[in-house]
């Protein structure tokens, strides 16, 4: 009876190691695709950040805008005052670090175009790019498990 238990345990371990080997192989083989996914996401992030930073900067330079009020009311300059800050804010919105609705509400005084930009960014990144990438990786995993 103890020998049978050892054999069963060994079979379970071998099956687990086979799954682990499959997962590690998939991760290693997907590094090239993962690199290009990051390039695409960062490019999209850069373009939207450039547009939003320019829109916010033009709004700040307008004569009817009070910079101190923007700093106090929602921290617009803290989130969209430079290209890096805008990229960081959009990254937070894309990954769920911060609710994108907060950013949209913060950008409402700037104009409808800024709100539409952030909504379009969320649509493009969350619903399009991320779901397509997930599909590509799942398809790769299925193909590798079939060949294994």
For residue 56, the enclosing domain spans 29-147
Mean per-residue pLDDT for 46-50? 97
SS3 assignment for 87-106: HHHHHHHHHCCCCHHHHHHH
What letter does residue 62 receive in the DSSP assignment?
S
H or E, element range at 122: helix 112-122
Residues 6+ apart with CB under 8 A from 48: 90, 117, 118, 120, 121, 124
6 vs 112 pLDDT, higher one: 112
Q: What is the pTM of this model?
A: 0.74
Query: What is the predicted pLDDT for the residue at 109?
Result: 86
7 belongs to a structural domain: no
Domain count, the chain: 1
141 belongs to a structural domain: yes
H or E, element range at 131: helix 130-147
Mean pLDDT estimate for the chain = 82
3 belongs to a structural domain: no
Query: Could you tell me the two tokens for 55?
Result: 């829109």
């Amino acid at each position: 009876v103890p020998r049978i238990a050892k054999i069963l345990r060994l079979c379970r371990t071998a099956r687990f190691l086979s799954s682990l080997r499959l997962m590690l192989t998939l991760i290693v083989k997907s590094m090239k695709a993962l690199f290009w996914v990051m390039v695409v996401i960062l490019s999209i992030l850069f373009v939207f950040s450039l547009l939003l930073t320019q829109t916010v900067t033009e709004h700040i330079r307008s004569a009817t805008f009070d910079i101190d009020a923007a700093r106090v009311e929602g921290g617009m300059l803290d989130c969209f005052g430079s290209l890096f800050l805008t990229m960081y804010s959009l990254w937070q919105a894309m990954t769920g670090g911060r609710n994108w609705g907060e950013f949209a509400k913060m950008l409402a005084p700037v104009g409808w175009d800024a709100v539409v930009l952030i909504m379009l960014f969320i649509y493009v990144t969350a619903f399009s790019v991320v779901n397509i990438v997930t599909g590509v990786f799942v398809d790769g995993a299925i193909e590798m498990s079939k060949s294994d």
